[in-house]
Structure 1
Amino acid sequence: MADGGLTVFDGSLLREATVSADSLFSASGDGDPTTIDGAHLLSEAESVASSLLLGLSLPENLKAATLRRLGFDELSFRSLHFNRESASETLRKYVAAVADELRDDPFVVSVLDGSIIRMLLEDEDDFAMLAENLFTELDRDDTGKLCKSETRNALAQMGVEMGVPSPSVNAKSDDLLDDILRKHGAEGEELLGQAQFANLLQAVLQSLADALGLKPIVVIQDIKVINGSKIRQILANEELLLDTIDRIFDKQTASELDGGSIRKFRALLEKDGTEFGLPLAGSNEALVLLYDQVFGSLDIQNDEELDKEAFGSAVKQILQEILNQMESNPVFHEPEGN
């Protein structure tokens, strides 16, 4: 996985996992108990799912949605008791439910493993330019000097795109940065010139790259993965699919005497595809290209007027092809305002 690059957590890391609650029973201080309570099992389930997701702490909304899939809320689950067999079965179901949630609503993450930092440090010219730019930006009074403590701000300005975990992204990154800065004496008020600051930054980044190489940090990105999950749900429910087709067809013909057309259906998807879990096409070039490919492959002429049966068949074909394309090549969508 590329440091700073985008990786999709879609549940695939969890699907083949073999999990068991046996350790909960053998690790108990009460010998070998016959049951454990739901609180202990839930903590273990969250820990197991997190470890399978490279140490990512499960967001609260994911944990709540997972329990809903199992038919519980947190309070009721914690009040239950499980024997060894039922605990292992429930643990497996929990992990599978997390996988299903991620399939329907994947995360985009950056896995910070030090590789981008190492590449940057290996190119002396690139690093010298970066260090100079950071020094100039942080030297707001143009004194030609910076406090050692400004090293933390330099790391913050580099950010995830350069493979540096931002301060406060999570407790692990805070502790890691604190330890490294302390190790190199980068928290004092001693003033440094540009060359001295560059040397200190280089040493800090080298330690950070080494630490991330041993224990990467996973950072969730505010990017939506459009993989056709809403379309999959519609296609899997014949009644919902027919109702959707009826409403679209009736809307197209409400003010006209002719039937529906593929051109009108594409216009609907581009303008407001939220019913199908799709963003506005105008704000996403990848989605426009996908539509071009899908609609261009149809035998039907885009402007040809179709009766309801033919229109419904075409819509189903289009949705299936969009789903096929998105399952193998998801579309990334950055919400407006980011």
Structure 2
Amino acid sequence: MADGGMEVLDGTQLRDLDLQLPILDYPVSGAMALQLAESETSARLFGLSLPENIRSGALHRISASDDPDLLSKEFGDADCLSSMIQEFLIAVADQLKDDPLVISVLDGKALRIFLDDEDDFAMLAENLFTELDTDDNGKLSKNDIANALLHMGVQLGVPPIQESTNLLSNIIKKHGAEGEEKLGQAQFANLLQTILQDLTDALSEKHVTVVRDVKVINGSKLKKTLENQKLFNEFVEKLFLEWNAYKNGQEDMELRGFFEARGLESGLPPSESNEALYDRIFSDIDKGNVAGDLEKDAFQVIVKDILEKFAQHLEENPIFIDLEG
């Protein structure tokens, strides 16, 4: 996977439960067991440290089905420890199935492509210089090198500062790219090139995994609603009340507009970028039943049909929504 390329973590990477535990002295404390479980999880997820919401959600799932105070337990043998780690892996996998993460593994390849092409790098450096030279005086300070790296971002293979504080800061310090000393465009480009070369070498030796601000709409939320009768009934009840308020006495108000307005709230993709999908799904719904007054039972049947069609399509063709700007 090249820099900037995206990988979806949906839990499938964790469902192989073949563990290779280190040689340990038993018993093992709950804290140590959790540390081993998180290490095993990270190793299977490209070195990613679990976001706190995924970690705490997985612990809650384990606690709900077993001992509510995992950290106070002791694991007396390898089988008990292995069972706990397997439970943790499955719990994280279930969390990721419901709410997938999108990541990029930065390994220096994308940066190498820019550095190996003189014309591409010259254009990149020129564009960055122009963008940062807000005073239009043809000079930038050395401090602006950090801003240039920030502008390049994950899409061009540069890790965020918070993901690699020591890596980037050490490289910047190594080349004296700090302070208010002014640089012309050529000097700026030369310094940036040197720093990017070092960053490329560092990333090739130790990859940096970055969670992207990208939402995956894959039908999992819809399937969860459809598979739980209580949840589905509550969903329909709330939707039916909103539907009657939405149409507000307008006999020709169509359900399509109502569902388009719900969008992500209901687990549906945004309509503005998926008109063809909405066209196809709502063209399959009986035209005589999608407008005007609807009894609750008829409304429930139609809603179920709509959700099933969306869920099937999204499971086969997930939609990615870029929230990064």
The reply to whether TM is greater than 0.5 is yes
Which residue of structure 2 lines up, in the alignment, with residue 55 of structure 1?
47
Would the aligned equivalents of 1:252 and 1:264 in 2 still touch at CA under 8 Å?
no
Aligned equivalents of 1:271 and 1:137: distance in 2?
37
Aligned residues: 320
Corresponding letter in the other structure for 1:6: M
Moved more, 94-103 or 41-50: 41-50
Mind listing any 5+ residue stretches in structure 2 that lack a counterpart? Answer: none
Normalization by structure 1: what TM-score? Answer: 0.80
Which residue of structure 2 lines up, in the alignment, with residue 313 of structure 1?
301
Alignment of 1:1-338 (within 5 A): 1-20=1-20, 22-23=21-22, 26-27=23-24, 32-33=25-26, 35-71=27-63, 76-83=69-76, 84-139=78-133, 144-168=138-162, 170=163, 173-187=164-178, 192-245=183-236, 248-249=239-240, 264-273=254-263, 276-278=266-268, 281=270, 284-286=272-274, 288-298=275-285, 301=288, 303=290, 311-334=299-322, 338=325
Shift of 1:82: 1.2
Would the aligned equivalents of 1:64 and 1:74 in 2 still touch at CA under 8 Å?
no
Shift of 1:123: 3.0
Would the aligned equivalents of 2:268 and 2:310 in 1 still touch at CA under 8 Å?
no
Moved more, 304-313 or 145-154: 304-313
Shift of 1:218: 1.6
Identical-residue share of aligned pairs (%): 47
Would the aligned equivalents of 2:63 and 2:70 in 1 still touch at CA under 8 Å?
no
1:101-138, Cα deviation, whole Å (9 max, x unpaired): 01101122232222322222233222112212323444
RMSD (CA atoms):
3.4
Aligned equivalents of 1:129 and 1:190: distance in 2?
23
Q: What secondary structure sits across from 2:28 in the alignment?
A: strand
Shift of 1:314: 3.2
Q: What secondary structure sits across from 1:333 in the alignment?
A: strand
Shift of 1:317: 2.4
Aligned equivalents of 2:245 and 2:195: distance in 1?
66
Shift of 1:318: 1.9
Q: What secondary structure sits across from 2:257 in the alignment?
A: helix
Mind listing any 5+ residue stretches in structure 1 that lack a counterpart? Answer: none
Would the aligned equivalents of 1:54 and 1:218 in 2 still touch at CA under 8 Å?
yes
Normalization by structure 2: what TM-score? Answer: 0.83
Q: What secondary structure sits across from 1:272 in the alignment?
A: helix
Moved more, 45-54 or 211-220: 211-220
CA distance 1:296–1:16, shift in 2 (3 Å): farther
